[in-house]
Amino acid sequence: MNSYPYFLPATADSDRPPARANLRSLLRLPVFLLLPAVLACPESVAADPKLSVDRAVMVIMAPEGPVLAEINISVDGQAYRLWVTNFLAHRVDVNNDGTLSMSELQLIPERLLQQTNARTAKRVLRSVTGDKTAETTSVDDFTKWFADQLSRSFDVVAAAVNASEAVRLAALVDGDGDGAISREELIAGSHALRFRDLDDDQTFTAAELMPFRDPRNQNAAVVPDAANLPFVQLNDEESLTRTAEQIVSRYGDDITIDPAKLRLPEAAIAGIDDNSDLKLNAAETKQFLAAPVFHLTLNVQLAEAANRSNLVADVSPAAQSFVKSTTEKRGRMKLAIDDMPLEIRARGGSARSRDIMVDFLLQRSSLYDKDKNGYFTDDEYPEFQSQMSQYLANADFQSVDLNGDEMVLRQEIKTYIERDAIATQSRIEVSVKQDGKTLFKLLDDNKDRRLAGRELLEGFDILMKYDLNKDQKLTESELGTAYSLQIGLGQPASLRMNSMQAMNMAARSTDAILPGVSGLSGPEWFRRMDRNQDRDVSYREFLAPRSIFEQLDIDNNGLLSATEAEALAE
């Protein structure tokens, strides 16, 4: 096994480790931090005990407290890693004799080989058989060994959205990291965001607030930075430490957290409070996360065929007061955790994803088959190879020519594409999309697709109607932010590009809207000084002594409005 396996394969619930036992081995389990709410359903439905699954653990940073979830994942009744390796083994068993030779093992995509301890086909053969002189291994032995080797298997990714919807403004101005925005934090927003004002115009466009994004390219769909979404993957000891610290910071006093915030019976967290102070510090919280007691279990039963996947959930009695299911149908659930809306979908149909890629590239291949004889020769192949490399790993002629007859047939292209596609599908992917209201959109009062100083200074009054608990702070759940989640096998890059292209077509009008001088109000001098056309003049824009600016700035907010400017003429 690898040092940090992402999943523990099991064949029955009896294989599940006890919640508090064997802490050292449980420390090797992954923990995924999902903010603010993820997977649950209040109906208690037991998983099929005969179902072979791979398991993962998630910590859910819900609005009122963390929620711990166990996720069981299978594909067509098999633990998903076993399904992946079965698929791969049968694609590289070229002669279908139930054994794999050295030459067949060399057909394993490099991306998959690099996940193993062996790294080369020769070492794979030696590791599977334990025999330095072995020339073949059985498909079954290879499958069991390779499934255990797969390591990088669970990714949280962000779905493409319009730029204004991708901005995680709340996270950028939340100075104390408590998951809520106060009036003071919003007023200080201009200062907190100052280094993101890349064009130095004292306004903040969606492009500027997106990490690593060119502010000149606003008319395109974007994939939000996963680190700034409410879903963050943890996969090592360091990440586990950060999660514990974040839980203490968000739900406690930065040093300790009340165990009641974990929302579990006292017996479930007994023994964690090492110093008996009735509080949990970050180290004690980390210990709890390493051997969690679950609020809920979600069984994700994926299927190769489209529309056949399913979700089955079991919520513990301790969680049924804050985990609700509003609707449910096969493969899809609508949930609410602490009133945070969340739609979850089990995305199957991986066979269809591969077929789409195969069909597309085979259609393209006919354009490069110059003599139209139905196959590529070595001199014809390079142009088509360039086309394939846009969607797949760079496939040289020898890799695709399975039988070495110096002809690449359509069937050989199909087989290669399927082998490469399974490298992508060798991991589980959680695709996250934010829906509903966003802080950026609510504060953009004049709908010019950027935030100006006055919108940050005075925006909290606009948000007050969303302050449901009247605590003078705004959380994303109060703003009506919702999330949709798709859980499935990794998707080929071509499908992602198609999705982005579709979003780009719908996002052509997302540039910041500048009214122009003629569209501004106030005296002519005021309109000309308003260089960023945000309908205010800051002191940096004011071309006169500070004493005059301060005299005109009646409300002392550091901005001159058109009304204040008109007082100069009186």
Q: Which of 235, 291, 261 is nearest to 7 (CA)?
A: 235
What is the pTM (predicted TM-score) of this model?
Answer: 0.69
State the pLDDT at residue 554. 92
Side-chain half-sphere CA neighbours of 209 within 13 A = 30
Residue 546 domain-assigned (yes or no): yes
Q: SS3 of 323, please?
A: strand
What's the rounded Cα separation, in Å, for the pair 247 and 227? 16
Tell me the mean pLDDT in the region 457-480. Answer: 84
> How far is residue 24 CA from its own chain's centroid?
29
The residues facing 323 across adjacent strands are 337
Distances (CA, A) of 302 to 33, 296, 350, 429, 471: 22, 19, 9, 12, 43
Answer yes or no: is pLDDT of 217 > 50. Answer: no
Residue 215 domain-assigned (yes or no): no
Q: Which of 410, 391, 390, 50 is nearest to 400 (CA)?
A: 410
Tell me the mean pLDDT in the region 250-277. Answer: 88
Q: What single letter denotes the amino acid at residue 181?
A: I
Please state the length of the chain.
570
State the pLDDT at residue 164. 59
How many structural domains does the chain have? 1
Q: Which of 294, 291, 310, 313 is nearest to 302 (CA)?
A: 310
Six-digit token pair at 318? 């301790």
Q: Answer with the residue of higher pLDDT: 164 or 110.
A: 110
Residue 565 domain-assigned (yes or no): yes
Tell me the mean pLDDT in the region 86-109. Answer: 88
514-557: pLDDT as tens digits: 777 777 888 989 999 999 999 999 999 999 999 999 999 999 99
Distances (CA, A) of 174 to 66, 188, 475: 19, 10, 10
Answer yes or no: is pLDDT of 353 > 70. Answer: yes
Residue 466 domain-assigned (yes or no): no
* DSSP code at position 464: G
Distances (CA, A) of 299 to 51, 54, 61, 331: 10, 10, 20, 11
What's the rounded Cα separation, in Å, for the pair 476 and 93? 51
117-135: pLDDT as tens digits: 888 889 999 999 999 899 9
Give me Rg for the CA atoms of the chain: 28
Residue 559 domain-assigned (yes or no): yes
Six-digit token pair at 157? 């990714």
Alpha helices in 254-349 (DSSP H): 282-290
Residue 536 domain-assigned (yes or no): yes
Residue 534 domain-assigned (yes or no): yes
Q: Answer with the residue of higher pLDDT: 477 or 218.
A: 477
* DSSP code at position 143: H
Q: Which of 134, 148, 149, 143 is nearest to 93 (CA)?
A: 143
Say if residues 486 and 478 touch (Cβ distance below 8 Å): no
Answer yes or no: is pLDDT of 94 > 50. Answer: yes
CB atoms within 10 A of CB 375: 19
162-200: pLDDT as tens digits: 665 667 788 888 888 777 899 999 999 889 998 888 888
The answer to which of 17-26, 222-231, 522-531 has the lowest mean pLDDT is 17-26
End-to-end CA distance of the chain: 81
Q: What single letter denotes the amino acid at residue 446?
A: N
Six-digit token pair at 338? 């602490």
- 393 confidence band (pLDDT: 50, 70, 90): low
CB atoms within 10 A of CB 272: 17
Q: SS3 of 341, please?
A: strand
Q: SS3 of 181, please?
A: strand
Tell me the mean pLDDT in the region 378-397. Answer: 78
Residue 529 domain-assigned (yes or no): yes
State the pLDDT at residue 322. 93
Residue with tokens 């949280």: 156
Residue with tokens 């679950």: 294
Q: Which of 487, 480, 490 is nearest to 58 (CA)?
A: 487
Six-digit token pair at 171? 């996270």
Answer yes or no: is pLDDT of 11 > 60. Answer: no
Residue 522 lies in domain: 518-569
Say if residues 292 and 68 touch (Cβ distance below 8 Å): yes
* DSSP code at position 489: E
What is the H or E stretch that residue 429 is in?
A: strand 428-435
Answer yes or no: is pLDDT of 424 > 90. Answer: no
Tell me the mean pLDDT in the region 328-341. Answer: 84
Say if residues 34 and 43 touch (Cβ distance below 8 Å): no
Answer yes or no: is pLDDT of 378 > 80. Answer: yes
